[in-house]
Amino acid sequence: MKERILELTRALVEIPTPTGMEEALHAPIAEVLEGCGFAVTLQRTSVGRRNLLAKRGESPLLIVTHLDTFPAYTHPEPYRLRREGEELIARGVLDVKGQIAALLAAVERCGHPVQIALVVDEERFGTGSRELAVDPHVRGAVVLEPTKLHPAPAQAGAVDFTAIVYGRAAHGSVPQRGESAILKAFELIQAIEVLPFMRAQHPLFPDGPRVTVGTIQGGFEPMVVPNTCRLEADVRFLPGVELEAALQELTRCLRSFGTEFILGDADPPFEIAPEEPVYRLLARAVADALGEGRPPVGMPSWTDAANLVQKGIPTVVFGAGDLAVAHSDREAVPLSELEALARVLSRLMGLAAAPEGWEES
């Protein structure tokens, strides 16, 4: 199965699909799925691009992931799959084309009924999963994203913002006579990091919440104390924290620094109960396929699971590889983990197909 996953991954990676170009994957994926007995349909979304939906038989299990990848940016060879030992390297190989390849290999390997949704726009606004048409028989979902093959029944909340911080210009040789907007922006981030909602703890998130500054721009040259600084940042917070409380604390902090700001996307965290059938079935599939169980983890990144949970669908995030290297210039995933993922998914489909599966899981 490794060679088949490698073949599928290469074919997917070599088709560039940054957000906006996802539909280039429809034909090759649909060909594989239809060859495995799936009925494939396309669902148009408000961004003009279409989700790919596939159904084989009747199943309460929905497996979801996204078709788009992060832009190439400075990746040296984004759309040529390289292999170094067990590592596969390319843009999107981890997030998430390798996951799709493992899923396709799994459905080729077994004939169990299952529902699949491959959605658009995940790397930008999540439109595909937000507008996803979900079959009323679905009782649980698994979203494929890198978790090192640990089930993730919880996901961090997130809010991003753009802010302009103001200082006071002065000659660069006497900075004490002015107020550096750049240094003030650093102080703002430090203040956000110690807000009450950022001090919350959760056993599945041992590293706690984080603030990521994505862009920062300010100043003219060293001989002028900068009087403005613009920054874009992403704030993560943990299950147990209410979204509205987080927004109120963040807003107060931004105002206290005299900033002009715009709040962007804001999504609450979630955690499903360990008794949920989809979580118990996945945990059993992992133990059966890998020979041992894997402890649950928290997903620090936003995923399409957020929109599924909002629709009332219990959802677990699960997949191969290390999230930390996604979006990087050395995005990679171990081929052995993709093979293991395919085995877990095959087993999960079998468990979900059993009449007693959802009742006795």
pLDDT in tens, 276-295: 999 999 999 999 999 999 99
| DSSP annotation of 140 | E
pLDDT of residue 355: 67
Strand 211-218 to 39-44 pairing: unpaired
| Residue located via tokens 């009449």 | 355
**Residues in the chain, total:** 361
DSSP symbols for 38-106: -EEEEEE-TTS-EEEEEEES--SEEEEEES-B---TT-SSTTS-EEETTEEESTTIIIIIHHHHHHHHH
> pLDDT of 38-75, one tens digit each?
999 999 999 999 999 999 999 999 999 999 999 999 99
Measured distance CA(103)–CA(110) in Å, rounded: 11
Phi then psi dihedrals of residue 267, to 5 deg:
-130, 140
Domains of the chain, each with CATH number or no CATH: 2-155+270-360 (3.40.630.10), 157-267 (3.30.70.360)
pLDDT category at 354 given cuts 50, 70, 90 is confident
pTM beyond 0.85: yes
| DSSP annotation of 232 | E
**Non-local CB neighbours of 141 within 8 Å, separated by 6+ positions:** 61, 62, 63, 64, 278, 305, 308, 313, 314, 315, 316
DSSP symbols for 107-133: HHH----EEEEEES-TTTT-HHHHT--
Which residue(s) pair with 230 in the sheet? 164, 217
Measured distance CA(51)–CA(44) in Å, rounded: 6
pLDDT category at 360 given cuts 50, 70, 90 is low
Write the CA distances from 160 to 123, 152, 234, 247, integer angstroms.
Answer: 14, 23, 4, 10
CB 171 within 8 A of CB 225: yes
Write the CA distances from 40 to 37, 109, 319, integer angstroms.
Answer: 9, 18, 23
Tokens of 228: 């403005």
> pLDDT of 204-237, one tens digit each?
999 999 999 999 999 999 999 999 999 999 999 9
3-class DSSP state for residue 201? coil
Measured distance CA(307)–CA(313) in Å, rounded: 9
CA 135 distance to own-chain centroid: 22
Measured distance CA(156)–CA(88) in Å, rounded: 28
Nearest to 152 by CA among 323, 345, 297: 297
pLDDT category at 358 given cuts 50, 70, 90 is confident
**Helical H segments across 218-300, by residue range:** 243-256, 277-290
Q: Average pLDDT, stretch 324-346?
A: 97
Phi then psi dihedrals of residue 201, to 5 deg:
-125, 160
pLDDT category at 361 given cuts 50, 70, 90 is very low
Measured distance CA(198)–CA(193) in Å, rounded: 6
